[in-house]
Amino acid sequence: MYEALELVPEAPLVCMPADDGEMLFAKDDWCEHALEIRSGIARAVSYSRGGDRQVMAFFFPGDIIGLPLFDAHRYSAEAVSGLRFARHPAERYRMGKEHYDQSAQKVAGAVWQEEKAFIARGLILGRVGALSRVAAFLGYLAEHLADEDRTMPFAIPQADIASYLATSPETVCRTLRGLRDRGLIAMTSRDRLKILDPAQLARLAAEGRTCRDVETTRFNSQAMRPKQAGRR
Amino acid sequence: MYEALELVPEAPLVCMPADDGEMLFAKDDWCEHALEIRSGIARAVSYSRGGDRQVMAFFFPGDIIGLPLFDAHRYSAEAVSGLRFARHPAERYRMGKEHYDQSAQKVAGAVWQEEKAFIARGLILGRVGALSRVAAFLGYLAEHLADEDRTMPFAIPQADIASYLATSPETVCRTLRGLRDRGLIAMTSRDRLKILDPAQLARLAAEGRTCRDVETTRFNSQAMRPKQAGRR
DNA sequence: CGCGTAGTTGATTGGATTCAACACGTGTGG
DNA sequence: CCACACGTGTTGAATCCAATCAACTACGCG
């Protein structure tokens, strides 16, 4: 009865639509519902005093966001485009409550799934150079919403991509054009993107331009080198 | 700041030292112990195929790392400098096990504490320009290991800082010097850093150089603006 | 004392931001 | 149906910043 992350049938989980740009929940708000994304894309946003805004993560169909690791939401979430979602009572996912509908393992898995989105951005931003960041981002997108034909809906405003990648919209546009000209990707329509050469794209993401010290000091330095063998 | 998360007294928790650079646990390894940092600094590292290395997070005294959100470790951890730590049996922190030594709330709090370190890097890397990134990093450091005099041990190799900030060691050095020349920080010794002007530093972190579109499109754009009021 | 490493500084070059202008699609109202 | 405004994406030119290469200093340790 409790297998999978299946929704419990007792509550009639309607699939609600959200307008583009609509806020789904706000940081520090009480965590009432967890949201399961049915279609479209959502974004996690950080507003700092000072007025600057950062897109911290994107979420895709199948993701469950707003899980009550705490009582309060850890970030603000907004709809990007074409979002439809279902609400789950947060109590179901609250840890340590005795009335588990889900096993704690499942809850932990869902939390980890949510956190991975934030960590992924860190790894992407860790790469220097717009080219490798964009390439890594496309690879990340493909993992989440590419079909068997390596085609995916690409309904994310370039301003959001720019904020996510910590670069300017112009650079995003130029880089995408560069990838298109080199035949690595194709954009048939405004909102459809096809990855033509995943291997080359991954290579760009990896070697695009890595900090020099990584190669050099890694094998010379002592403080750098892990002394315990056997990592991967 | 880290109240509670108290260790259970039953096991004699010895405080083990680690050599600088020593690997504490490896990604994907079975999660046997959680490590409580008693002194010094540790780092989370990501090794990708391709040989590039990224410092994803720093951890400080009081932090508990390697918590078993899953069975396997989610990242590799290494000692940076002067690390002493205590091992806690991972079972204590495994979610959903019936034999809680800690309440699930405590476990969730510890997990969140650990995850925050990774998310903090994303927010720091989201800022463009080396100056704002370094300033934001110093502010983050100060939150975790500054004493009442705003002085803190600064025993992190600049190569690690550079990797963490996705920049080059030279730029880190130059930026620190710039901050020193402007009287915002002082480095009495090689490994002690004092923050002289926290307000100015925070200002630099915020406005250092924000992507232009943030200001302009935020108030004009429709897709950008959250339609539900009352965030913050 | 000499070696190795980390840190520092200068000069150069390439890349990204920025400003500006324009193209394109969409929805609205005349 | 067309004109228009508006937002988004696109492209060009100029400036500025940061990566890079190279040389040097400071420091810790045998």
Predicted TM-score (pTM) of the model is: 0.85
pLDDT for res B211: 43
Q: What is the mean pLDDT of residues B202-217?
A: 61
pLDDT for res B96: 65
Tens-place pLDDT, residues A142-180:
999 888 888 999 999 999 999 999 999 999 999 999 999
Rounded, the Å distance between the CA of A140 and C1' of C11 is 39
Taking 50 as the threshold, does the pLDDT of residue B103 lie above it?
yes
Taking 60 as the threshold, does the pLDDT of residue B219 lie above it?
no
Taking 90 as the threshold, does the pLDDT of residue A131 lie above it?
yes
pLDDT band (50, 70, 90) for residue A70:
confident
Residues counted in chain B: 232
- Chain B 184-213 contacts with nucleic strand C (CB below 7 A): 187, 190, 209-212
Taking 50 as the threshold, does the pLDDT of residue A77 lie above it?
yes
Shortest CA gap A142–chain B (Å): 18
pLDDT for res B60: 96
Taking 60 as the threshold, does the pLDDT of residue B27 lie above it?
yes
* Between A88 and B94, the higher pLDDT residue: A88
B166 CB below 7 A from strand C atoms:
no
Q: What is the mean pLDDT of chain B?
A: 83
Look at A105 and B112 and tell me if their CB atoms are within 8 Å: no
Look at A206 and B49 and tell me if their CB atoms are within 8 Å: yes
pLDDT band (50, 70, 90) for residue B51:
confident
From the list B96, B128, B226, the residue facing A22 with the nearest CB is B226
3-state SS assignment for residue A9: coil
The structure tokens 């780092």 sit at B43
Tens-place pLDDT, residues B158-175:
999 999 999 999 999 999
Tens-place pLDDT, residues A23-61:
999 999 999 999 999 999 999 999 988 778 999 999 999
Which nucleotides of chain C does any protein CB come within 7 A of? 5-11, 15-20, 25
Q: What is the mean pLDDT of residues A177-206?
A: 92
Measured between beta carbons, which residues in chain B are less than 8 angstroms from residue A104? Answer: 95-97, 104
Look at B223 and A157 and tell me if their CB atoms are within 8 Å: yes
Taking 90 as the threshold, does the pLDDT of residue B23 lie above it?
yes
Shortest CA gap B62–chain A (Å): 20
Rounded, the Å distance between the CA of B59 and C1' of C24 is 49
pLDDT band (50, 70, 90) for residue A215:
very low
Which nucleotides of chain D does any protein CB come within 7 A of? 6-13, 17-22, 27-28
What long-range pairs does B138-145 form, CB within 8 A, spacing at least 24? B138/B179, B138/B185, B138/B193, B138/B195, B138/B201, B139/B198, B139/B201, B139/B202, B139/B205, B141/B58, B142/B195, B142/B198, B144/B60, B145/B41, B145/B60, B145/B61
Q: What is the mean pLDDT of residues B90-108?
A: 73
